[in-house]
Structure 1
């Protein structure tokens, strides 16, 4: 196998002759055999976009020759198009605040740009990874900027999937609007409601999560690009620092802007914590919904048995005919993982010191993972569960008729003490609330029928506010 020798400040290493990566990438690969996961391909693409626009901006600022800038841009275009993916060899979890990822990109671009100019991979005489590709930059501004661009690219699909789920929940709320069932608090009978109200509540929380995701994603438009090492723009010209964010915004057609305080934007990663927190909240909401679906469909003969989830696969290797609520189960597992990711992101943000947070690699690894996990979980919940839910309407109504929960409606008419006596007698004797009231002759039959009208009890006295749940504005 043909190799070449590359040198750095530590020493030398043999590099595979055909490799576009260089010595710093290989050292990082050897040092960080951690997760076995490589850099996210969308992150790689966005880092290449930043390198391309940096080259153009450096040319405009007379920091690079047109020949070198064009070669860098051509090399970047290949990476942006998905080429050279196997050349990005560093682990996604790495020490050094992302320096390994940045240098992996710089070395691949430098070697490819040298080839474009007629050179070879044997030396960096035409295009140098630090002097040319990394000109006017630091890992500390390009790495977090690429992270934010990646969040901006991943988030719209999650929001789109949640919007789809919201529409399905709204359809189910309408479909089940006449299904009277027992409402429960703390798993005990409470007061009647409708299954439509339950699904309308699910729709409402998803709608709220969508709004929060859109709002928090807007924070990703503010970049610390141009800050270089700590925020003072050292080694970057004024011309470069003042135009790089604008040029990047123009290239991506996004409302990107440079942070007002580059020192703050370089050392603090609180915006990623907020994004993670909103994603976690959405995941928890879906997990709570999944818990409800498992309870409401439990049985099918010895549980609540109020709804039926679509049968997706055999539930047991030993119990014939058993079908488990596998889709809600997997959604909850995704939520558990996202909560764990959020804890890691939170601790990583808190553990930064002084002018830089060195833990952005694990922040990005977990944040990208959370977005993608939730994106996929939402679709499987929507398509493999929600759309196929059916209801056992007679069973739901029968449970309400037999429940002591409807005794709550008696309080305004006979008082809490007498209503409690009725409820206790119903539990003890098995008689219905209606039967006990008639026996005690406290109210007329007509009044009892009016008070215990299940439709009126289920609807309650809260005015409808369906119009409050409407479309939300999509992000770019």
Structure 2
């Protein structure tokens, strides 16, 4: 005899006992058993759960408006969806984020939870699917193959806002440091060798510009993600839908979500194509590469303190060693480096998953979605900790930087227009050989007067193009 703590549900494989108190059903139970993969459920991504509830609500409303779903069922389905959108019952979304079946288990989990919530609102028992069915009613005019990619795309639009906000704060922090260090002269470097003077402010402003440029690229990539295939059903032909359904459901989803979504021009192509995910992942990889390069710079510039560059000081966040007393490491840039390595790896995963699609469907969108969410989530967290725990607290070793400019053979480059390449080469090599300063050698050899030299080596002249006649 079945336990009173369970209810019996049926699918094409037979009967199973489902815990009586859960809102999910037999299809979810099989997914739990089949996919014990990552230990991370789809509820780990609240944006995904919110998005699928929005898709289901838009579908119910479209079918109601088209006369295919009665008001009684449509109203409770939509009410259940609204509860989920508001953050309720997310603990009922229990299937693993990595799953076979092109996302079918995620769709089934949503159908069952919404159906049982709706049944409860009707005063009926969980599992009373004669009254309201997960597939016949909640999934009406839908397939996993249009619901899941539409859900992924909408969820990504929601998630990317957090990353863009974090990048904006990081850009602002770099700009603030650029202004703070605008008067700090230092030596620039190419190939880790002394080059020509610049300001520390100029160095930090480049980081702000890089972040701003990547934010623009992200906005462009998201615009491609906003094209959806809702209404495509199984392969894009729209089988089992009203001819008006696709446009209406997409329009309603846009209104409900507050996000502009565009119906794909060709639903068959859109159902099998994952190009927008690959494009977005490529931009996330670009963001990761640039952030990692910036963190490499911060680690180099703060290296030492005695035996390194020691140009800037990063905030001290933790003891650096269990054996070396007094050592403090650049742990915040280091963790952002590691996030970048992960994002680059995620991009390889997404690339291979996209390439692995066959004929009218790509079965690997679950790993694409999981990888994209990880990249977005971790990049946002990395930007936040870099901003708050590192950039805002950076200080400059001003005297050391000034002394290095005064003593650097790289100053000879600035004197090229005044003394010629051959003389500048001799001055640079002699300064390196003898340890004497460029200015001392130029004056001693009579290549320039002191007044000419002082004018040529003014900070504004050293760090910007020359004004004609100056």
**Which interval holds the TM-score relative to the shorter structure?**
over 0.9
The Cα shift of 1:118 comes to 2.9
Distance 2:120 2:385 in 1: 46
The Cα shift of 1:411 comes to 2.5
1:26 paired residue number: 29
Indicate the SS of the match to 1:422.
helix
Matches within 5 A, 1:315-334: 315-334=320-339
Distance 1:222 1:461 in 2: 49
1:169 paired residue number: 174
Larger deviation, residues 96-105 vs 109-118: 109-118
Distance 1:45 1:442 in 2: 73
Distance 1:242 1:259 in 2: 10
2:184 paired residue number: 179
Deviations 1:114-150, CA, capped at 9 Å, x for gaps:
2322332344111111111110000011111111111
Alpha-carbon distance change, 17 to 428 in structure 1, aligned in 2, over 3 angstroms: same
Indicate the SS of the match to 1:229.
coil
Distance 1:408 1:394 in 2: 22
Distance 1:158 1:126 in 2: 43
Matches within 5 A, 1:229-378: 229-378=234-383
Distance 1:178 1:199 in 2: 12
Counterpart of 2:92 (choices 87, 90, 93) is 87
Deviations 1:274-321, CA, capped at 9 Å, x for gaps:
112212212221211111111111111221111111111111112121
Larger deviation, residues 174-183 vs 253-262: 253-262
In 1, are the aligned partners of 2:25 and 2:127 still within 8 Å (CA)?
Answer: no
Distance 2:345 2:367 in 1: 12
In 1, are the aligned partners of 2:58 and 2:250 still within 8 Å (CA)?
Answer: no
TM-score under structure 2 length normalisation? 0.94
Distance 1:357 1:397 in 2: 59
1:403 paired residue number: 408
Deviations 1:10-44, CA, capped at 9 Å, x for gaps:
22322112222111111111111110111122211
Deviations 1:52-86, CA, capped at 9 Å, x for gaps:
12111111112111111122122222222222222
Distance 1:113 1:454 in 2: 72
Deviations 1:432-473, CA, capped at 9 Å, x for gaps:
11222233333333333333444421334499xxxxxxxxxx
Indicate the SS of the match to 1:459.
coil
1:225 corresponds to 2:230: yes
2:16 paired residue number: 13
Structure 1, unaligned runs of 5 or more? 464-476
In 2, are the aligned partners of 1:117 and 1:126 still within 8 Å (CA)?
Answer: no
Structure 2, unaligned runs of 5 or more? none
In 1, are the aligned partners of 2:198 and 2:463 still within 8 Å (CA)?
Answer: yes
Q: Which runs of 4+ in 1 moved over 6 A?
A: none
Distance 1:292 1:25 in 2: 48
Larger deviation, residues 221-230 vs 439-448: 439-448
In 2, are the aligned partners of 1:327 and 1:380 still within 8 Å (CA)?
Answer: yes
Counterpart of 2:48 (choices 43, 49, 53) is 43
Distance 1:269 1:229 in 2: 16
2:395 paired residue number: 390
1:457 corresponds to 2:462: yes
The Cα shift of 1:412 comes to 2.6
Indicate the SS of the match to 1:320.
coil
Distance 1:163 1:78 in 2: 32
1:157 corresponds to 2:162: yes
Counterpart of 1:97 (choices 102, 113, 116) is 102
Alpha-carbon distance change, 176 to 323 in structure 1, aligned in 2, over 3 angstroms: same
Deviations 1:154-196, CA, capped at 9 Å, x for gaps:
1222212222222221121111111000000011000011001
In 1, are the aligned partners of 2:47 and 2:156 still within 8 Å (CA)?
Answer: no
Say what the alpha-carbon RMSD is for the aligned residues: 1.7
